A and B are shown apart, each in its own frame.
Chain A
Amino acid sequence: MFNTQITIAGVTFKNPVMTASGTFGSGMEYSEFVDLNSLGAVVTKGVANVPWEGNPTPRVQETYGGMLNAIGLQNPGIDVFIERDIPFLRQYDTRIIVNVCGRSASDYVEVVEKLADQPVDMLEINVSCPNVKHGGIAFGQDPKCLFDITKEIKAKARQPIIMKLSPNVTDIAEMAKAAEAAGSDAISLINTITGMKIDIHKRTFALANKTGGLSGPAIKPVAVRMVYQAANAVKIPVIGMGGIANAEDAIEFMLAGATGIAVGAMNFVNPYTTAEVVKGIEAYMHRYHIENISDIIGTVK
């Protein structure tokens, strides 16, 4: 028997495969393609204390082997989310991780407190969105700020928290340590890498927001490196993401030190990716006679 279970902060997941926040809504749209029961967890699109309009369009552009987005965390606000999205996800046998965004510490705390009595398994705190001014990015790029916001949220959160780290820093290990020191139960990385594209025919920025977050297979080597560095700097579990397109990519992140992994931009390219990664991980376990998938975590040193 092969065991694909993993455990993060006392929460067990049937397998390590999750969805990267912002690429999967709250699962509704992709439930037409993928049996959500087959996933380790659904990580929701970021939700704030009030509805956010997001940025002007164009919000997305393709780049070589990847894409840029500047959605700007459009979301319906926590009240609608609690009423609509959580009941939807509760129909499925999968873990629910709610991604929380905010412009200030009090925004985050308000959302976290409203989620306190909700049947969700973990909270992922987005302090790393590059597309929103004061969208928490300041919290995610300075270790002292990250420490403070983490401590404040952790004090209020009923569920275990995952601080989602920005790759737009010089030393990812230092950021990982700051989150751990402040009491974060886990960390996830990487969020998107800040990028830019210029339309040479119109001589304008390709995104209305000028800059956007780069994701997709193009960023995978950067993500693997950062997951490795972060995982080796802290004792708390790491959830790895960044360009995962198939089970081979997922295994690579796990060998680098990720306990869980998330599929992001590739959902847009192949809506069946998450389910295929689950199957592919099982096939890898068969091939190499791995009884427990957790045995491979961080084994490449």
Chain B
Amino acid sequence: MEQKRKETAVVYKQQEIATEIYDMWITTSLAAQAKPGQFISVYTHDKSALLPRPISICETDRENGRLRIVYRVAGKGTAEFSRYKAGRHIDILGTLGNGFPLEKAKGKKVFLMGGGIGIPPMLELAKAIANNAGNEGQAASVDIIVGYRDKELFLAEDLSQYGKVHIATEDGSAGTKGNVMDAIAAEGLEADVIFACGPMPMLRAIKKYATEKGMEAYISLEERMACGVGACLGCVVKTREVDHHSHVNNARICTDGPVYAAQDVEI
């Protein structure tokens, strides 16, 4: 049964896969319940840094009970995690958030779009869609469009197992020069439904694109969080309709999200 819990897990292995981007596998009972698009909160051992760091789940290995996270070193918390070696204890809370609505991919031409450190959750999602997880029905096609700063194309090879990968780089050193929207235009790609995670300007552009094309788009948001479980109301997003829980136009990203239908949120 899916239940949120905090547990002391163990680092299985870790390596730096691009500059300041780390790839960590964690042995944890939470692997059994993880869904694509969900996240875990990771606690530091440094007690001066109290709040857990929300990090998306990149890949799940149910058989061996492991979760993979791929994260960028952005501050003292993630800097601490980056120094962990195999065997190190790591406190995590999970699994959190709603995850991507896999059933929306059934019979559709799908775009999976990831920008920067928004790329990792696309891997488990791509895998789930390719493997028809939950028997939701196969997607008609899967195009994976990923945007990077430069030619350090982390996870691109992993993603290529599950769909055709299209690359954009800010500096033009690989694929289309520009962002994921530029790559779609340059390659003349088309789809029926979009699943995306990335920086806010990218998500805004996707929302606009999807609206113009009359497509469904499901976007994963992030925000500064404290509790991660829906109690503190720190991580809200403005919603088009009055939210069923808050009774104002705010939804909790940690609990009601992080994945929303793009047209439902004011971003």
* Per-residue B-contact encoding for A79-108, CB less than 8 Å = 1, 0 else: 010000000000000000000000000000
B224 touching A53, Cβ below 8 Å: no
Among candidates A33, A60, A76, A270, residue contacting B232 with C-beta atoms closer than 8 Å: A60
User: Which residues of A have CB within 8 Å of B48?
Assistant: 64-65
Once the chains are docked, how many angstroms separate the CA of A134 from the CA of B229? Answer: 29
Q: Assuming the A-B contacts A61-B224, A62-B50, A216-B50, are A29 and B248 also in contact, with contact meaning beta carbons closer than 8 angstroms in the complex?
A: no
B224 touching A74, Cβ below 8 Å: no
The closest CB in chain B to the CB of A73 belongs to: B233
Q: Assuming the A-B contacts A74-B250, A76-B248, A217-B50, are A271 and B229 also in contact, with contact meaning beta carbons closer than 8 angstroms in the complex?
A: yes
A76 touching B247, Cβ below 8 Å: yes
A59 touching B227, Cβ below 8 Å: no
Q: Which of A17-25, A153-161, A227-235, A287-295 contacts B (4 or more CB under 8 A)?
A: A17-25
Closest-CB distance, B143 to chain A (whole angstroms): 32
Q: Does chain B have a CB within 8 A of A117?
A: no
Q: Which of B2-10, B103-111, B134-142, B201-209 contacts A (4 or more CB under 8 A)?
A: B2-10
User: Which residues of A have CB within 8 Å of B231?
Assistant: 23-25, 29-30, 45, 267-268
A65 touching B50, Cβ below 8 Å: yes
Once the chains are docked, how many angstroms separate the CA of A60 from the CA of B245? Answer: 20
Closest-CB distance, B214 to chain A (whole angstroms): 29
Once the chains are docked, how many angstroms separate the CA of A80 from the CA of B245? Answer: 10
Once the chains are docked, how many angstroms separate the CA of A260 from the CA of B234? Answer: 27
B51 touching A53, Cβ below 8 Å: no
* B contact face: mostly helix, strand, loop, or mixed: loop
Interface contacts (Cβ under 8 Å), in number, total: 111
User: Which residues of A have CB within 8 Å of B230?
Assistant: 25, 29
Among A29, A65, A217, find the residue whose CB has the most chain B CB atoms closer than 10 A: A29
Closest-CB distance, A197 to chain B (whole angstroms): 11
Q: Does chain A have a CB within 8 A of B52?
A: yes
User: Which residues of B have CB within 8 Å of A57?
Assistant: 223-224, 234-237
Once the chains are docked, how many angstroms separate the CA of A53 from the CA of B224? Answer: 17
Q: Does chain A have a CB within 8 A of B83?
A: no
Q: Does chain B have a CB within 8 A of A221?
A: no
Once the chains are docked, how many angstroms separate the CA of A32 from the CA of B95? Answer: 12
Q: Does chain B have a CB within 8 A of A119?
A: no
* Per-residue A-contact encoding for B1-33, CB less than 8 Å = 1, 0 else: 001111000000000000000000000000000
A74 touching B246, Cβ below 8 Å: yes
Q: Assuming the A-B contacts A74-B246, A267-B227, are A60 and B43 also in contact, with contact meaning beta carbons closer than 8 angstroms in the complex?
A: no
Once the chains are docked, how many angstroms separate the CA of A59 from the CA of B47? Answer: 22
Q: Does chain B have a CB within 8 A of A143?
A: no
Among candidates B6, B49, B225, B249, residue contacting A60 with C-beta atoms closer than 8 Å: B225
B232 touching A69, Cβ below 8 Å: yes
Q: Does chain B have a CB within 8 A of A269?
A: yes
Q: Does chain A have a CB within 8 A of B93?
A: yes
Once the chains are docked, how many angstroms separate the CA of A10 from the CA of B82? Answer: 53
Closest-CB distance, B120 to chain A (whole angstroms): 22
Once the chains are docked, how many angstroms separate the CA of A269 from the CA of B5? Answer: 12
Q: Does chain A have a CB within 8 A of B255?
A: yes
B248 touching A269, Cβ below 8 Å: no
Q: Does chain B have a CB within 8 A of A77?
A: yes
Q: Does chain B have a CB within 8 A of A261?
A: no
Once the chains are docked, how many angstroms separate the CA of A66 from the CA of B225? Answer: 13
Among B3, B5, B246, find the residue whose CB has the most chain A CB atoms closer than 10 A: B246
Q: Assuming the A-B contacts A33-B5, A51-B247, are A268 and B233 also in contact, with contact meaning beta carbons closer than 8 angstroms in the complex?
A: no
Once the chains are docked, how many angstroms separate the CA of A62 from the CA of B53? Answer: 11
4 nearest A-B residue pairs (beta carbon) = A76-B247, A60-B234, A25-B231, A29-B231
Binding site for A on B (CB under 8 A): 3-6, 43, 47-52, 93, 223-237, 245-250, 255
- What are 15 A-to-B residue pairs whose CB atoms are below 8 Å? A25-B231, A29-B230, A32-B3, A33-B4, A51-B248, A54-B250, A57-B224, A57-B237, A59-B233, A60-B224, A60-B226, A60-B232, A71-B232, A74-B236, A269-B52
